[in-house]
Amino acid sequence: MKQDTEAELSSILQKYDDELTANARAAEQKKIEEQKLSSDLERIRVKEIIPAMEEIGLALRKRGYDFEIIEKAMLTKDTMFPRAIIGMTVFPKGLKRANVGKDHGPHVLVSFQQDVGEIEFGYEVEQKNRRGLKESGHCGRYKIDQVTRELVEKQIVSALKRGLFA
Whether the CB-CB separation of 154 and 77 falls below 8 Å is answered with: no
What average pLDDT score do residues 112-138 get?
A: 67
Q: What is the pLDDT of residues 12-60, one digit of tens each?
A: 999 999 999 999 999 999 999 888 887 888 888 899 999 999 999 999 9
Please state, in angstroms and rounded to a whole number, the distance separating the CA atoms of residues 16 and 26.
15
pLDDT at site 152: 92
* 105: confidence class by pLDDT, cuts 50, 70, 90: very low
Residue 131 has pLDDT above 50, yes or no: yes
Residue ranges covered by each domain of the chain: 49-162
Handedness of CA 47, 51, 53, 54 (dihedral sign): positive
More confident residue, 93 or 109: 93
- pTM for the structure as a whole: 0.72
